[in-house]
Chains A and B, each alone.
Chain A
């Protein structure tokens, strides 16, 4: 099932950036 997490936009942006750099390690 889909789980929703509410966070600030700043955290949402940080999460995407962290994921991107981790993927390109």
Chain B
């Protein structure tokens, strides 16, 4: 639920409320990560590193459901719908364009909620490895999660062997989104 400002509020206030909306969303990703079987048996340092490099990408997957690529609108959890044009005024134009494209491609795969959740777990443990201490343990967890996702999807759609590879092709898209945007968007933190 991230209400974007009515015109009466300054852009700083808009950014403040947007940044504050991010905090609960990030905390939810941390709780989600802790629920991934095997994640908490990783070194705590590695858990933190994966979260730091993967949370933005997981959020991008989660936010996809807010985007309507056909109508080019975003509907926040509080029900407020905004057109791409009105959101562009906040200066997030290029991220929004990228998000619309990404959510269109992901949406076309028609994943079930449990497949989407398993995909987000794969996204998190596939995040950047720099700074990871026990790479082998992370790689093993990633392999297990990919195996689980593949068997869930092939069990459900035995005659469609293209869907899983198409899904994995979204991982590089997410990495690009992360590289292009997570260190550009500014946030305000109030201490």
Chain B interface SS verdict (over half): helix
- Asked if A8 and B187 make an inter-chain contact with CB atoms under 8 angstroms apart, the answer reads yes
Q: Which residues of B line the A interface, CB within 8 A?
A: 12, 16, 19, 22-23, 26-27, 30, 44, 47-48, 51-52, 55-56, 181-191
In addition to A6-B186, A9-B184, A13-B26, 18 A-B residue pairs with Cβ atoms within 8 Å of each other are A4-B12, A4-B188, A4-B189, A5-B188, A7-B189, A8-B183, A8-B184, A8-B186, A8-B187, A9-B22, A9-B56, A9-B183, A10-B52, A13-B56, A16-B30, A17-B52, A21-B44, A21-B47
State how many angstroms separate the Cβ of B55 from the closest Cβ of chain A.
5
Q: Which 7 interchain pairs have the tightest Cβ spacing?
A: A12-B187, A9-B185, A10-B182, A16-B26, A8-B183, A17-B51, A14-B52
Q: Smallest CB-CB separation from B178: which chain A residue? A: A10
Interface size grouping (class) on chain A:
10 to 19
A8 to B56, CA, bound (A): 12
Provide a sorted-by-A list of 5 A–B residue pairs whose CB atoms are within 8 angstroms. A4-B188, A13-B182, A16-B30, A21-B47, A21-B48
Q: Smallest CB-CB separation from B18: which chain A residue? A: A9
State how many angstroms separate the Cβ of A6 from the closest Cβ of chain B.
5
- A17 contact set on B, CB distance < 8 A: 26, 30, 48, 51-52, 55
Q: Known: A12-B19, A16-B23, A16-B26. Contact between A6 and B188, CB under 8 A?
A: yes
Q: Known: A4-B189, A5-B191, A13-B22. Contact between A20 and B184, CB under 8 A?
A: no
